[in-house]
Structure 1
């Protein structure tokens, strides 16, 4: 592959990453408008308002670009630079950089505890609810701000916690989530000492 082809491939990969991040960020921002203390259409009214704000912003941006076409050159250059940087491979942060309560892939018991706390008396919890909690918590918000549902899912599955595509939980229709019955102790956790005395052979 030539140098030009590699550069084009890197920009294409970065553009795909940026697009996913933008859509995921917009979706997460809209989802944070949901009112947990309300039910019915009132609970999702905040989501609709935020979606309308995004739509209005996109419309105004399109009008500005049509009025000032030269802005496309500037925006294009900014996008290429951002895509180039986004496609750069970065090593995952070490486990000690993850604040308490964040599913880092190294503390399965803390993750299970977090999921059970979010379930309360329910039998399941949606990944959307878990992600919203992490992004609202001051201790984890800075780290998880750019996380998507897919990021959270990969960390759950790394701890052998199954993620089901259609889970019913309080606060919404069936969507990706975790069930209480799947939150058995981690396979790596030390087993309790048996109280039955062993018999010598």
Structure 2
């Protein structure tokens, strides 16, 4: 197989970045539209916010198309900005080694595997950081740099319910309550070496642990301080 030229490597990098940028913008737009749903209402009223937000996105797309059609020179500024954003969307490690052999190797990169899956501790920290004390899934996904589906996956794995919650300044939507998370694991107690006294000594006794599991309490003899 012939070695790809520098131009081909740059073209693959730009194409890869555009796919990532489109996927990221689509996920954020979808999350923004879904955040307009009101779970405390029923029927059309519940999705009215979603419809309004979808109409805003459609109007913005139509306005952009009209702007480009009326003033095509805008593309001289828009295209470089788009290419710059596409390259910035590629993780640093992927940008350094773009598509070593063929398109299949590029699709196997970590960035192509989908949005990152946060850990339970990361979700817990995000709830503590943005919650009041409850947090919407869309807000958590934005804070963690992932999607609401990935946040749901973590919560479902640890049997944490997703339910309608009210978040200060944002109304009611699908989210999670801080009190639903399990308590953090307690730190293990220090182990006392064989033959060494522990740290819980009283004034009158000394406890010694031995390797065989025996526990011996030594009481020092009382000293007579009365003058002879």
1:38 Cα deviation from its structure 2 partner? 1.2
1:3 Cα deviation from its structure 2 partner? 1.6
Q: Secondary structure at the match of 1:37?
A: coil
How many residues were matched structurally? 148
**Does the CA contact (< 8 Å) of 1:32 and 1:47 recur in 2?**
yes
Bigger helix share: 1
Specify the alignment match of 1:134 in structure 2. 140
1:153 Cα deviation from its structure 2 partner? 5.7
The TM-score normalised by the length of structure 1 is: 0.55
1:66 Cα deviation from its structure 2 partner? 0.3
Larger gyration radius, structure 1 or structure 2: 2
Specify the alignment match of 2:119 in structure 1. 105
State the superposition RMSD in angstroms: 4.4
Specify the alignment match of 1:148 in structure 2. 147
1:40 Cα deviation from its structure 2 partner? 1.5
CA distance 1:8–1:48, change in 2 (3 Å): same
CA distance 1:109–1:58, change in 2 (3 Å): closer
Deviations 1:5-30 (A, max 9, x none): 11111111110111011111111111
Matches within 5 A, 1:45-194: 45-89=48-92, 104-105=118-119, 107=121, 110=124, 131-132=137-138, 134=140, 143-144=143-144, 146-152=145-151, 156=154, 161=158
Between the aligned partners of 1:85 and 1:133, the Cα distance in structure 2 is 23
**Does the CA contact (< 8 Å) of 1:11 and 1:87 recur in 2?**
no
Task: Indicate the larger mover: 32-41 or 20-29.
Answer: 32-41
1:134 Cα deviation from its structure 2 partner? 2.0
Gaps of 5+ in 2: 95-116, 129-134, 165-179, 187-228
**Does the CA contact (< 8 Å) of 2:37 and 2:49 recur in 1?**
yes
Deviations 1:58-110 (A, max 9, x none): 1111111100011112111111111111113269xxxxxxxxxxx84263895
Gaps of 5+ in 1: 92-102, 115-128, 136-140, 163-168, 172-182, 191-201
**Does the CA contact (< 8 Å) of 2:37 and 2:47 recur in 1?**
yes
CA distance 1:110–1:71, change in 2 (3 Å): closer
Q: Secondary structure at the match of 1:35?
A: coil
Higher relative contact order (CA 8 A, sep 6+): 1
